[in-house]
């Protein structure tokens, strides 16, 4: 019962099959292969607009390259204080952007408040060249706390950004989980809601290493290829990345997997919520993650029952559970049983 | 009655005279002139240890180059949330360090709390390579709020840094003001208190453009000259910077000027403090700056009386007064009179 | 008959099988999986010393991260003027090193001359801080011209570097081809010959995306993991990279494949060399590449016969042929036949 | 008789007087002072077009900031192989531009050949994102060899740049010397000849530390102020830099001084040229510098006679003489006498 991370899961068989199928004969290198050449059309259909797609193998790299593309070195990047971009990437955004200023925004459960964004923005603009230039708003969907911005919330945030001439980025490491959680289209959650650029992630959703940067405004993609190359992120045998991107988004595999993990996370939440004071959810469960304060007694019981999950860094009793695509019905039943046992004991 | 900034003052006549005296005949360029060659010995005497001195003309550059020297790109820099380094330099520290992570520390009146430093440090270390490496502690003395760390406070902060294998930096843009405020020696306020590197500022204290980076551990200075050159901060006619550094610190001119401005700031504070609810000091006056909440009525009265000072960015009623070395007795008397007039009216 | 690039070949079946085998159950992320944890021991045996191994998926990234690790921003990097590092990576080395200076060295057939290295080095050192600090020597083995440095040549170059307190790097994108060409051990071609750090490449030799940075002096590896993370090059599902590295180097698969491609390149060279003035080899064939000046008549004949290869950028009649691991006996026979046909016509 | 460098000269009395005159009362900081506010108009008149002027104190910083403003990180910068930008600034251009690629261009006596520029440009464009993007052409006027591009030569070079969508920069560390050498207007030598941005230098021409970046196309200056700030090059007491810029260019002081030093350099050249095989000029004398191969016998004679000048780094018998604005008639007469003595002995 491994609920430590969706990065620990294996590759989905259909994606593995796609890699096998792509492994026939020679193919042009550096993205000139037949798989890569399909990407723009493929994702333009999915996102219902003309998108420019750059395959990547790392979500951190996708995010950081986006920041370098959208922000000058003297720019300011606004994101939630707990954003992966801010606290989990060893300063990759600052590195790639040549020192852009991170401006963190508060908000409960991983979601920036519109008013907090305005408040953070109001700190700039008084000191002329001493202040960085507001450049990028980056929001994570689903968030680092397993919650999801509503379409209204995204639109409200991007409207503030637009009013300050900023560009907007969505970190979609768990994009599909948010999508099925809301029940909207990819277009509605991105460019319809004011998003300019997306870090689209599939690695956590069954792929081996498959991410993509997607530009909804092709002009913003200008020379992004050279930036990717300069960062060492252009792979020679690109067909194997592109084949994953295609396989995972064909026949709605990505949505099916995300739906399953979301549902499983909710089931876990329901079981744990029945344990009274021993479990207090720290955030609503809207994707494939669950954050809960557990009593030490409950924690020990669950660990003894074989549950694997992480205590959140810097906390005493906050734990994160993540459901991977390969979660089994059996493991869910065992957690549910463990919860019942805890009540009964 | 200009209390807007100590950057608006002219150059002190003795420093101007030193520039005239240095302006005779040719002198080797790039720091090989007789003035520059005296600096190490001169400041080693003042700081009572072997210091390695690099003249600079910009405090921002001094700070940012120090960060690049002391922190790797994957390092974390800890400073007060209001530190000049963090909020007034357009991200120069991130730029020079190639993207080091700024970690801000809370504390009242511009001074980091030791407990807050420990708390911020405790955020790192859980995520392996995803976390930046604690690298530098930078504190400002006197602070951005016109307060001064006691020697005990400095030692407590640097002890925490040392325990985490971090190096320590002091932003001494108003170093002399802090020194005379405490009444200690330069050695006591720096290397005796655990400081490794100092940005030493004289520009705000009567110079034209004269700062210096001082290393109390010569090994830390290795190749700093190349870093300074790479940043474009090695001036060709260096004698004119070094002559300022020497003139300002001969015969205690720097201390005399700092003492005068500190005293004047306290006098302003005393006058304003008598105005009851109309004036509330926002921080103790320990250097040449005064931060106060003023009623709109009082503010208008003082402005009408000819007082010039700045409203603090992002606030409604908080004002900063800075006393420059060229403050006149007459202007102080006029402020005092204006305060009495306000009471009488 | 595709001789365009060894990046166009598919993945070798044994490596593909290893990926399938690794695709079972969950495994710790970010390199804490069982495959990755074997790498240090595995390659320490192969290289007959304690090596510290960092798996990568891009050779450009491996090279650029090595430069950032070995050179300060004010450092100078010495490499052949035609080095991949210098002309094929869009300035990644300058980007990662924060602006280190590339100093190119001349030499025929892609190999730096020792005397040319000394000559380039002699340009520095006169101008104090205006000059960059000699920091890294990087040589490519096999070279960009399909030639191979002898062990004596490597030792002579690294000795010069050592005399100037420089560190040494080998770009081993085609390491195995050089190894079997010389017939020496991995240790002899690297740390025995004075190499500190190796970019070890398998992607061109049958892998999907598998490179590694190897440090022969563990001290030089300090914090390299954070640098890799900061560049976005730490993959979450690292097991799939490490499994490739292991599979390709087990049972000498890498050496077998390299030997086959080297042999095939020599066969191509022999056939072409018989065509008199119509073909003039531009460099000796010592690995899996062939550079030749072809008459336009011969070029058209070969293209018509189905041969695919590239004209070298910026030249009129210079062509590069690269043999991939999946070259077939049949395709070699067809080229040989085409050459005979050309003579007969 | 100091002919070592024009950086060793003192400040011209008129410029020193201007500093004294500016040293009255308080003035707004960071370039909002009355002197700085005049600069745009003042230089717009001199250059006969609307220019946007940023005062600086370092020519290296001016050059490097221009490169960062004009080139993306993935850009290529074309300059003469001996350009100050390339060999005397410790890689500042690479640092500020975040790793742009320096592409050196050949040409005799410090002047790029148009054909060599085209040849260097032809190296790029074949490899897609692997190649940097041609971004900036930078030429030095007067050159590092004391020669001067004719207006035709500048126009020919900038035309090539324009055809490749590149922007153009002039390093004018000795701008005035070139101007009086040609006898044209500032407009003719810059924007009329296709130059977009100028590093304008006065430090070598009698100032203390006064340079400026001038944009002939105001759109190109967008946010340059923030870049300057981020590099730590915005001085607080800017009036003292601007006062120098104004004083040096009023009443043609800059042109008078440049004319005197050019004339003196020619006189030196004439005297030395009479010494037959003992002196061979390495470049025509078109500004205030002289490069000559001297016999060891002559060199020793001149040194014994009190002449101070530098041997050129990396050469056996090539020497550089530079005439500063404070050269005296007496010192010229003494050199002339020394030359006559050498003949007579």
B287's tokens: 């250097």
pLDDT at C276: 87
Task: Give kind and range of the element (H or E) at residue B297.
Answer: helix B296-304
Q: Average pLDDT of B73-79?
A: 98
D231 to chain A: which residues are within 8 Å by CB? Answer: none
* Local structure of A169: helix, strand or coil: strand
Is C203:C254 a contact under the CB 8 Å cutoff?
A: no
- Other Cβ atoms less than 10 A from the Cβ of A283: the count is 18
* Residue C72 pLDDT > 90: yes
Residue D175 CA to residue B197 CA, distance in Å, equals 39
D26 vs B16: CB contact, 8 Å cut-off? no
Residue A324 CA to residue B18 CA, distance in Å, equals 72
- Work out whether strand A318-322 and strand D75-80 pair parallel, antiparallel, or are unpaired: unpaired
| CA A45 to chain centroid | 21
Is B54:B224 a contact under the CB 8 Å cutoff?
A: yes
DSSP code, position D198: E
Chain D interface disruption, residue of B232, B240, B308, most D CBs within 10 A = B232
Residue A100 CA to residue B164 CA, distance in Å, equals 26
Q: Average pLDDT of C145-162?
A: 98
Q: Average pLDDT of B289-309?
A: 97
C171 to chain A: which residues are within 8 Å by CB? Answer: none
> Shortest CB distance from A132 goes to which of B90, B129, B314?
B90
Residue B47 CA to residue C330 CA, distance in Å, equals 80
Mean pLDDT of chain A: 97
Is B332:B268 a contact under the CB 8 Å cutoff?
A: yes
Task: Give kind and range of the element (H or E) at residue C215.
Answer: strand C211-215
Each residue's pLDDT tens digit, D34-59: 999 999 999 999 999 999 999 999 99
B126 vs A314: CB contact, 8 Å cut-off? yes
Question: What number of H helices and E strands is found in chain B?
Answer: 14, 11
* Residue D314 pLDDT > 90: no
> Shortest CB distance from D230 goes to which of B16, B95, B230?
B95
Could you tell me the pLDDT band of residue C131, with boundaries at 50, 70 and 90? very high
Q: At what angle do helices C13-22 and C239-249 cross, to 10 degrees?
A: 140
Interface contacts (A, D; CB < 8 Å): 53
A90 to chain C: which residues are within 8 Å by CB? Answer: 226, 229-230
ipTM over 0.95: yes
List of domains in chain A: 13-252 (3.40.640.10), 258-344 (3.90.1150.10)
* Residue B194 pLDDT > 90: yes
Mean pLDDT of chain D: 97
DSSP per-residue letters across A86-134: HHSSTTHHHHHTTSPEEEEE--GGG---HHHHHHHHTTSSSSGGGSPEE
* Local structure of C206: helix, strand or coil: coil
Q: Does A58 touch chain B (CB under 8 A)?
A: no
Enumerate residues 101 to 120 of chain C having a beta carbon within 8 A of any beta carbon in chain D.
101-102
Determine the residue of chain D that is closest to C84 in CA distance.
D130
Q: Average pLDDT of D219-229?
A: 98
B345's tokens: 């009216």
Nearest C-alpha of chain C: how many angstroms from A115? Answer: 31
> Shortest CB distance from D130 goes to which of C88, C98, C130?
C88
> Shortest CB distance from B235 goes to which of D57, D240, D324?
D57
Each residue's pLDDT tens digit, A207-242: 999 999 999 999 999 999 999 999 999 999 999 999
Is B99:C230 a contact under the CB 8 Å cutoff?
A: yes
B223 vs C74: CB contact, 8 Å cut-off? yes
A132 vs B98: CB contact, 8 Å cut-off? no
Nearest C-alpha of chain A: how many angstroms from D130? Answer: 6
Could you tell me the pLDDT band of residue A134, with boundaries at 50, 70 and 90? very high
C72 vs B223: CB contact, 8 Å cut-off? yes
Residue B210 CA to residue B247 CA, distance in Å, equals 11
Q: Average pLDDT of A114-140?
A: 96
> Shortest CB distance from B129 goes to which of C68, C128, C226?
C226
Nearest C-alpha of chain D: how many angstroms from B138? Answer: 17
B7 vs D237: CB contact, 8 Å cut-off? yes
Residue D193: phi and psi, rounded to 5, are: -95, 10
Task: Give kind and range of the element (H or E) at residue D136.
Answer: strand D133-140
Q: Average pLDDT of A289-316?
A: 95
Strand order in the sheet with C279-281: C279-281, C289-294, C318-322, C310-311
B21 to chain D: which residues are within 8 Å by CB? Answer: none
DSSP code, position A191: G
Determine the residue of chain D that is closest to A232 in CA distance.
D130
Q: How many residues does chain C have?
A: 345
Each residue's pLDDT tens digit, B313-336: 889 999 999 999 999 999 999 999
B232 to chain D: which residues are within 8 Å by CB? Answer: 58, 60-65, 89, 92, 96, 231, 233
Is B321:B289 a contact under the CB 8 Å cutoff?
A: yes
DSSP code, position C20: H
pLDDT at C99: 98
DSSP per-residue letters across B155-193: HHHHHHHHHTT-EEEEEETTHHHHHHHHT--HHHHTGGG
Q: Average pLDDT of C317-340?
A: 97
Q: Environment class of residue A333 by beta-carbon count within 10 Å: exposed (0-12), middle (13-18) or buried (19+)?
A: exposed
Determine the residue of chain B that is closest to D323 in CA distance.
B26
Interface contacts (A, B; CB < 8 Å): 71
Alpha helices for D107-167 (secondary structure H): 114-121, 151-163
Residue C136: phi and psi, rounded to 5, are: -140, 140
Residue of C266, C272, C262 lying closest to C179 (CA atoms):
C262
Residue of B261, B254, B256 lying closest to B331 (CA atoms):
B261
Residue of B311, B293, B9 lying closest to B174 (CA atoms):
B9
Chain B interface disruption, residue of A81, A99, A316, most B CBs within 10 A = A99
Residue C50 CA to residue C56 CA, distance in Å, equals 19
Q: Which residue has the tokens 């920091």?
A: C135
- Work out whether strand B133-140 and strand B101-105 pair parallel, antiparallel, or are unpaired: unpaired
Percent above pLDDT 70 for chain D: 100
Whole-angstrom CA distances from B243 to A153, A237, B57, B237, C150 are 59, 61, 12, 11, 57
C226 vs B133: CB contact, 8 Å cut-off? yes
Residue B72 CA to residue B34 CA, distance in Å, equals 34
Q: Which residue has the tokens 């906050």?
A: A318
C233 to chain A: which residues are within 8 Å by CB? Answer: 58, 61, 232
* Local structure of B342: helix, strand or coil: helix
Each residue's pLDDT tens digit, C210-257: 999 999 999 999 999 999 999 999 999 999 999 999 999 999 999 999
pLDDT at C269: 97
| Residues ≥6 apart with Cβ < 8 Å to B68 | B96, B97, B98, B227, B231, C73
Residue D295: phi and psi, rounded to 5, are: -65, 155
> Shortest CB distance from D133 goes to which of A98, A133, A223?
A223
pLDDT at D276: 87
* Residues A60, A65, A69: CA angle, nearest 5 degrees: 150
Each residue's pLDDT tens digit, A53-79: 999 999 999 999 999 999 999 999 999
> Shortest CB distance from D90 goes to which of B7, B62, B229?
B229
- Work out whether strand B75-80 and strand B133-140 pair parallel, antiparallel, or are unpaired: parallel
* Local structure of D290: helix, strand or coil: strand
Q: Does D234 touch chain A (CB under 8 A)?
A: yes
| CA B152 to chain centroid | 19
| Residues ≥6 apart with Cβ < 8 Å to B343 | B274, B275
Question: What number of H helices and E strands is found in chain D?
Answer: 14, 11
Residue B115 CA to residue B118 CA, distance in Å, equals 5
Is A54:A204 a contact under the CB 8 Å cutoff?
A: no
Phi-psi region of B247 (alpha: psi -120 to 50; beta: other; left: phi over 0): alpha
B29 vs D19: CB contact, 8 Å cut-off? no
pLDDT at A8: 97
Q: Does C100 touch chain D (CB under 8 A)?
A: yes
> Shortest CB distance from D26 goes to which of B8, B89, B96?
B8
D92 vs B229: CB contact, 8 Å cut-off? yes
Residue D174 CA to residue A54 CA, distance in Å, equals 46
């Amino acid at each position: 019962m491994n609920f430590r991370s969706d990065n620990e899961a294996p590759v989905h068989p259909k994606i593995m099959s796609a890699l096998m199928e792509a492994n026939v004969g020679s193919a042009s290198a550096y993205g000139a292969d037949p798989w890569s050449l399909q990407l723009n059309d493929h994702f333009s259909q999915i996102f219902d607009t003309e998108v420019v797609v750059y395959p990547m193998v790392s979500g951190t790299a996708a995010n950081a390259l986006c920041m370098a593309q959208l922000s000058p070195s003297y720019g300011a990047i606004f994101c939630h204080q707990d954003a992966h971009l801010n606290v989990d990437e060893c300063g990759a955004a600052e590195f790639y952007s040549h020192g852009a200023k991170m401006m963190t925004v508060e908000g409960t459960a991983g979601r920036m408040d519109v008013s907090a964004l305005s408040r953070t923005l109001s700190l700039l603009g008084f000191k002329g060249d001493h202040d960085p230039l507001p450049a990028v708003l980056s929001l994570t969907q689903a968030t680092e706390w397993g919650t999801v911005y509503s379409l209204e919330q995204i639109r409200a945030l991007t409207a503030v950004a637009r009013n300050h001439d900023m560009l907007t980025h969505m970190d979609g490491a768990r994009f599909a989980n948010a999508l099925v959680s809301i029940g909207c289209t990819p277009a509605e959650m991105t460019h319809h809601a004011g998003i300019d650029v997306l870090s689209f992630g599939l690695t956590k959703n069954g792929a081996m290493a498959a991410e993509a940067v997607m530009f909804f405004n092709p002009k913003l993609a200008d020379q992004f290829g050279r930036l990717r190359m300069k960062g060492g992120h252009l792979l020679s045998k690109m067909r194997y990345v592109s084949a994953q991107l295609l396989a995972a988004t064909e026949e709605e595999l990505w949505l099916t997997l995300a739906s399953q993990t979301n549902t499983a996370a909710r089931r876990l939440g329901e079981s744990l919520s029945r344990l009274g004071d021993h479990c207090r959810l720290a955030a609503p469960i809207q994707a494939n993650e669950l954050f809960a304060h557990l009593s030490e007694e409950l924690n020990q019981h669950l660990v003894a029952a074989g549950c694997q999950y992480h205590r959140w860094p810097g906390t005493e009793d906050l734990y994160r559970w993540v459901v991977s695509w390969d979660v089994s019905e059996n493991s869910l039943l065992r957690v549910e049983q463990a919860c019942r046992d805890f009540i009964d004991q």
